[in-house]
Structure 1
Amino acid sequence: MTLSTTDSVATAGTAASEQPRPEYPRPDLDRSARWLNLNGTWHFEAEDADSTITVPFAWETTASGVNRAWLERGVYRRELSVPMEWEGSRVVLCFGAVHHRAVVRIDGSLVGEHTGGYESFEFDVTDFVVPGILSELTVEVEAPADKRAIPHGKQRSIPRDDYDGVSFTPTSGIWQTVWLEARGRTYARAVALRGDSLTGFDVVVEAAGDTPADAVVVARVLGTGETVELRTDPTGRAAGRIEIDAPRLWSPADPHLYRVEVTVGEGESADTVIVTSGLRSIQARGEQLFLNGERLYLRGVLDQGYWPETGLTAPDADALRHDIALARDLGYTLVRKHLKYEEPIWLHEADRTGMLVWAEPACPSRFSAEAAAAFEAQLPALVERDGNHPSIVIWGLYNEEWGLDWDIPGSDARARAAEHAYETMRALDDTRPIVENSGWSHVRTDLVDWHYYEPDLAEWKRAVAAMAEGTQDEFPVRLGPDFVVDKSYYASDAFPRSGVPILNSEYGEGFTSLERAWHLRWETQELRRHDRFAGYVYTEFADVEHEAAGLLTADRRAKEWGGLVPADVNADTVIVVDLIPLRAGADILPPAEPFPLVAHVSHHGTSPATVRLHAAWLRAGAPADGQAAVAARAQPQSSTPRIAVNPFELSAGLELTVPAAPLGGRLMVWATDEEGDLVARTFIDAAEVEEPNRRGARSDG
């Protein structure tokens, strides 16, 4: 059956508003002058289904119009017509992502096949279409219910795997934009642009089309004019370098992007694409990270990239951009995009606004040679697509030994798989730190990261201090309701115990949103207490389905944080209090007498600062925001002398004498600089601790 649709050339700002995801999907590799968006209504056939589907939403989602789970095969069909003005150009069919195996045909002829549910891919279809003539495009998709041996990240599997409790509705079929592009007769199939030298770009162009060998390639920096002219070798590859006069570096504080116009060939048949990147370097030196030669401390949040009605696919481009803004508003400087390579629009927004990114692919869930090969097979396409983004400062690989059966230390084969994945990624890109197995059991990594969830704040404080001191490298991990194991930073005695940056990349606790905000406040301050650590990643940004650990709801609304301002927790300068709190809403009992409170300042600015601490009582539950800070200044205050604080050095303890508050309340604690401006704030709640009611409990007798 063929569904008749009306196609029109979709360029930026001209796409029909009713078309789903009408925007050009590759702002970082821009050919938007000549493209055709194929999103919209397609015919769809599957088991017990003969209907329509809305592309690019997975068939499990309500947005697709199908809303069916556990279909293992689906066939998409639609008509397309290449615009007449593309006569003489090469035509390329592009897919953002299709899970898991796609067979593509035009008018019944096989165009190509692709396996890998998260990768972008394309086919040159010039020989299959005639401008102005309707053709039928068919995409046959296989999406196994049993996903254990294929990269599937947080998608659920049948049979259920070990990760079912933290997995979500599957994402099957076409789940990112499908489009056509007109290109030159010989064109740039791929462009790598690396600016880690900080003085210019190393350029690699891979040509395809009519005559990829001995083709003229010109790369020109738009706005400045620096140019390099190259020729491709017999394989179609050209490599060279563009030196930049007066280079302007990319950083979170100044996310400057260069746009480089790459032209392949000459005359009317030449191909042109505009590639975006930045000049920046990210390095691990000893136990510290450096961005452009300046010490870097990562303040990150884990984001799984799901939306309520559309699953792994963002409902629109604004949703992708808005998530970056929300993470920044929460005070974070890095997003760990968890087990998902996010759309280029999201990465481009991170580039444009200066958000750092920890990028990682989806993992399989059970170990085998087949699964390890499938995991590594996705890496070349992912580095090719995303390697130009200056925002990506870390490549992650495996997560928590998923696909390695939680057993790197007990299995040479599994340890070797993790190490080989590191080596594969290092050969693809040697410009970024790589984490081979996030969480624990490291065998070969540029960062020693650890995942630790601990509800007891006294134990959290003790364990974090011991890990920072190097006297403890093991911690308990609950892998199932009745399955707790001790995991170590290290998988073997051979891994060095010092000299590699150490950072937490998952933490957080609490059942209610109030409890989670309380744990965020107190757990993060303990991480900031220890300057050996290179950063942290809080779990997590937003709720997903049954997982309610987000600072935000699934539809990105703020939760009840008990007056906390997350940006205060994640600021350049924070206050670290010497206190083990009792429970959420009652950090201490109401003090009947004045008492000493000792606090420190953790400062991660670029230069030393001079600060002074203050404290004042407010009413219980008063918002700990700017208005509350103004109110606190109007109250009788306890203050300390001014003290100089150095970057990445916890200050000495500063003692405040806090007046009695026998009825309880909220003690605001804040720091001001030499001009009296607010630079940090926190709070301590004083309240009665109610004993739990256990009336009616069943007795053992």
Structure 2
Amino acid sequence: MTSAPPRPDAVRAALSAAPQAAPAYPRPDLDRSHRWTSLDGVWELDVPGGAAPSTVPITVPFAWETVASGVGRTWLEHATYRRRIAVPAEWAGARTVLCFGAVHHHAVVRVDGAVLAEHVGGSTPFEVDLDGVLAPGAEGVLEVEVHAPADKRAIPHGKQRSIPRDDYDGVSFTPTSGIWQPVWLEARGRTYAARVTVRGESLTGFDVTVDVAGDAPAGALVTVEVAARAGSDPGAGPGAGRAAGTTTGAAESIELVADGTGTASGRVEIAEPRLWSPAGPHLYVLTVTTVSAAGGEPDRVAVTGGLRRIERRGEHLYLNDERIYLRGVLDQGYWPESGLTAPDVGTLVADLEHARDLGYNLVRKHIKLEDPRWLHHADRTGMLVWAEPPAPSRFGTEAAQAFEAQIAPMVERDGNHPSIVVWGLYNEEWGLDWDIPGSPDRADAALRAYETLHALDNTRPIVENSGWAHVRTDLVDWHYYDEDPAAWAANVAALAAGTRDDFPVRLAPDFLAKKSLYGSADHPRSGLPILNSEYGAGFTSLERAWHLRWQTQELRRHDRFAGYVYTELTDVEHEMAGLLDVDRRPKDRGGLDPRDVNAETVLVVDLVPVHAGADLAVPEADLVLGVHVSHHGPGVVRGQVRAAWVPAGTPFGEGGVGEPLGTGSETVEAKPFELSPAVTVTVPPPGPVTAARLHLWLVDDGGAVRARTFVDAAPIEEPNRRGLRWDG
């Protein structure tokens, strides 16, 4: 028996009874938390249903497909949110602004039945000026009507599943529709800073542009005061610094006057600048105060910035004039009960800590504009970020325009974050029908997206089409998945040497395509940094750990590469490629510590392994291995590679490694970003055992262990192929 939909009075009772969690201000990088109120919580949702429409409670900001929303309805294409809102009486004399983090996909905003705004774009923020609509102390009914088409192919949607299905449906997930990022009210001055652009690429100060809006923006006086942020060290928790009302150090400031268009620009020089980097993520707070030329209450907003410069020099990347190697992991930002919206801020930022704990210095946030609080925590803790928007899945004029329409809002929202060191655009020609080489129109769309972004922000490298078929790019990145360790090693070597620029890609079970790094014969084959931005293999967690170890070592073997991005941080629904499961729990990695794989200094073994658990057969005579050192830190590393057999599966740190067997290697010297020559390690056989593990570690001249890896020895058999074979 089907239960009747809840009546509106029952919904209102649920609203009043629902517990409200303490909210965190949604824009700590653009901080107006001194006067704001959250609108997250339980709203009414009108759900059309033919002859029996219903009104149900929904928890904002969770998409209506999710369990966390309380609705759990997939393929709902249209619904209307409703709740009462009140402007605090103490905001008298201020301007009240209604802010939306993101609503997928088409939103119409009404207050007391009057249409105030309409927004298209499921990942970009928008705001509604309530001046003259609701006075301080007044209440009204806020409605947000949302259209979220099931056919998403022509709209930017990333990995949300579509009907009809995307070409890449096998790696698509539950859709995210409706309000899926925070909603809030905030008070601003009558004349206020609508946009603040901060760039610290000079490394000596901040270039600042303020776009003034509201009453009489032309001629407004804008003061920018800079102070160091308290709690900008990696150990400080969310909300430290300006949100807690504290800054440190002497402030430096400038005064500007907005021109006739309401724009004020200038530079604040820092007398003793401290740079932002992963090792020292020093942040500054720029307090922007805006006052109309006619006077009145000032508007204040605190903007977070960092002094840092990312640039390419030939085929290398430099951060603050020092060469850097990107050790990244791909993160899709999904949670099992809340989809693209994190359950809470602590859970949101915890994924950055997971990535750091696994040894990574960069997160590629995959085809998703993540919650600004995540980016702010990356700024605070020194995690580098590769940021990219969602894309459509089928090419057309409308789809290309919708994709390009996201670029300016993306830069406006996220461009101040020093953690973002790479901008991505299209991914694997999604939205370009996998066919840049065969279509000038599709190639032009990728080029146009690059040029649009470059005109808005040329301070970061831009990747116009991640993975394949580059048209114009600042980084040549490639995606390559291969289960065969010998083929992987050979193809990676050929890509590094430039003797090949294509590789096989399985686009569907019956569709194996040859993909090139370049979209045309005219694209230069050298002179740009080259890096892998997706790799990984294996069906079981043990196999994936094995491929992580060996495939990453082959990337580190070649000095030409500027970095890598492993796929991926966590499982997502049916995609089980994560280092952590969907609940962020570690998997069985067979004793592998990913921090050893992703360390600044690693060992590279001259061996093509056979399969997971059996890199080679148990030796019956002395085992001779060549071992290199790859070092991506400052200074030269000198030391000796040592080895010891331990019981199969033993991780480092358990039971000790004992005294090195045989003789240690000769002294090895590794210069920064240069693979060392091989040194020879010779060890006697492990004895009469079925399986064993050979620990290898580098001890420097000071006695410190600088790098670790291992080799597994076990019986190797031909795979079983008995039984009936289907040949037809």
TM-score by length of 2: 0.93
User: Does residue 238 of structure 2 align to residue 237 of structure 1?
Assistant: no
Offset of residue 634 of structure 1: 3.8
1:392 matched residue in structure 2: 420
Aligned with 1:193 (options 186, 192, 198): 198
Contact 2:209 2:266 in 1 (8 A): yes
2:245 matched residue in structure 1: none
Residue correspondence of structure 1 range 652-667 to structure 2 within 5 A: 652-661=677-686, 662-663=688-689, 664-667=691-694
Counterpart of 1:458 in structure 2: which amino acid?
A
Q: % of aligned pairs identical? A: 64
Range that drifts further, 261-270 or 601-610 = 261-270
Distance 1:297 1:382 in 2: 25
Distance 1:523 1:284 in 2: 25
Distance 1:549 1:23 in 2: 31
Contact 1:286 1:499 in 2 (8 A): yes
The 3 A distance-change label for structure 1 pair 263 and 452 is same
| Cα offsets for 1:46-76 (capped at 9, x unmatched) | 1234211000000000000000000110100
Distance 1:339 1:5 in 2: 39
Range that drifts further, 247-256 or 131-140 = 131-140
| Cα offsets for 1:384-439 (capped at 9, x unmatched) | 00000000000000000000011101111000100000000001101000000000
Offset of residue 111 of structure 1: 1.1
2:128 matched residue in structure 1: 123
State the secondary structure of the residue aligned to 1:128: coil
Offset of residue 21 of structure 1: 6.9
Distance 2:433 2:168 in 1: 11
Distance 1:144 1:116 in 2: 12
Offset of residue 489 of structure 1: 0.8
Contact 1:21 1:315 in 2 (8 A): no
State the secondary structure of the residue aligned to 1:422: helix
User: Does residue 689 of structure 2 align to residue 689 of structure 1?
Assistant: no
User: Does residue 540 of structure 2 align to residue 515 of structure 1?
Assistant: no
Counterpart of 1:128 in structure 2: which amino acid?
V
1:28 matched residue in structure 2: 29
Range that drifts further, 172-181 or 658-667 = 658-667
Distance 1:699 1:454 in 2: 25
Contact 2:223 2:253 in 1 (8 A): yes
Distance 1:423 1:311 in 2: 32
1:259 matched residue in structure 2: 285
Range that drifts further, 123-132 or 574-583 = 123-132
Contact 2:102 2:180 in 1 (8 A): yes
The 3 A distance-change label for structure 1 pair 112 and 655 is same
Distance 2:13 2:70 in 1: 17
- Aligned residues between the structures: 691
Runs ≥4 residues deviating over 3 A: 1-8, 633-638, 690-701
Residue correspondence of structure 1 range 265-664 to structure 2 within 5 A: 265=291, 269-623=297-651, 625-627=652-654, 631-634=656-659, 636=661, 638-661=663-686, 662-663=688-689, 664=691
Counterpart of 2:440 in structure 1: which amino acid?
D
The 3 A distance-change label for structure 1 pair 21 and 361 is farther
Offset of residue 693 of structure 1: 4.0
Distance 1:466 1:160 in 2: 36
Distance 1:666 1:370 in 2: 57
Offset of residue 162 of structure 1: 0.2
Distance 1:576 1:470 in 2: 21
Distance 2:358 2:699 in 1: 21
Aligned with 2:101 (options 82, 93, 96): 96
Contact 1:21 1:316 in 2 (8 A): no
- The Cα RMSD (Å) is 1.7
Offset of residue 694 of structure 1: 4.5
Structure 2: give runs of 5+ residues left out of the alignment.
Answer: 1-7, 228-248
Distance 2:654 2:666 in 1: 24
Counterpart of 2:38 in structure 1: which amino acid?
N
| Cα offsets for 1:180-226 (capped at 9, x unmatched) | 00010101111000001101100000111111111000000023311
Structure 1: give runs of 5+ residues left out of the alignment.
Answer: 9-15
State the secondary structure of the residue aligned to 1:224: strand
Distance 2:422 2:722 in 1: 52
State the secondary structure of the residue aligned to 2:90: helix
Offset of residue 637 of structure 1: 5.2
Counterpart of 2:61 in structure 1: which amino acid?
P
Distance 1:496 1:504 in 2: 18
Distance 2:403 2:270 in 1: 37
Aligned with 1:62 (options 56, 67, 74): 67
Offset of residue 697 of structure 1: 3.5
1:11 matched residue in structure 2: none
1:224 matched residue in structure 2: 250
Contact 1:302 1:539 in 2 (8 A): yes
Offset of residue 331 of structure 1: 0.4
State the secondary structure of the residue aligned to 1:226: strand
Distance 2:490 2:182 in 1: 49
Counterpart of 2:514 in structure 1: which amino acid?
D
| Cα offsets for 1:320-374 (capped at 9, x unmatched) | 2111110000000000000001111100110000000000000000000110000
Distance 1:242 1:307 in 2: 41
2:233 matched residue in structure 1: none
Offset of residue 612 of structure 1: 1.1
Offset of residue 698 of structure 1: 4.7
Distance 1:386 1:17 in 2: 33
1:12 matched residue in structure 2: none
State the secondary structure of the residue aligned to 1:515: helix
Offset of residue 626 of structure 1: 3.0
Distance 2:18 2:277 in 1: 35
Aligned with 1:672 (options 699, 702, 707): 699
Counterpart of 2:90 in structure 1: which amino acid?
E
Distance 2:181 2:624 in 1: 58
Offset of residue 605 of structure 1: 0.7
Contact 1:186 1:264 in 2 (8 A): yes
Distance 2:624 2:380 in 1: 46
Distance 2:419 2:186 in 1: 26
The 3 A distance-change label for structure 1 pair 254 and 203 is same
Range that drifts further, 355-364 or 489-498 = 489-498
The 3 A distance-change label for structure 1 pair 21 and 286 is farther
State the secondary structure of the residue aligned to 1:162: coil
Contact 2:153 2:394 in 1 (8 A): yes
Distance 2:644 2:60 in 1: 57
Contact 1:670 1:681 in 2 (8 A): yes
Counterpart of 1:570 in structure 2: which amino acid?
N
Distance 2:19 2:551 in 1: 46
Distance 1:626 1:78 in 2: 57
| Cα offsets for 1:252-284 (capped at 9, x unmatched) | 000000001000006651100000010000001
Distance 1:151 1:224 in 2: 45
Distance 2:418 2:662 in 1: 46
Distance 2:723 2:590 in 1: 31
The 3 A distance-change label for structure 1 pair 677 and 17 is farther
Offset of residue 640 of structure 1: 1.2
Distance 2:721 2:225 in 1: 74
Offset of residue 633 of structure 1: 3.5
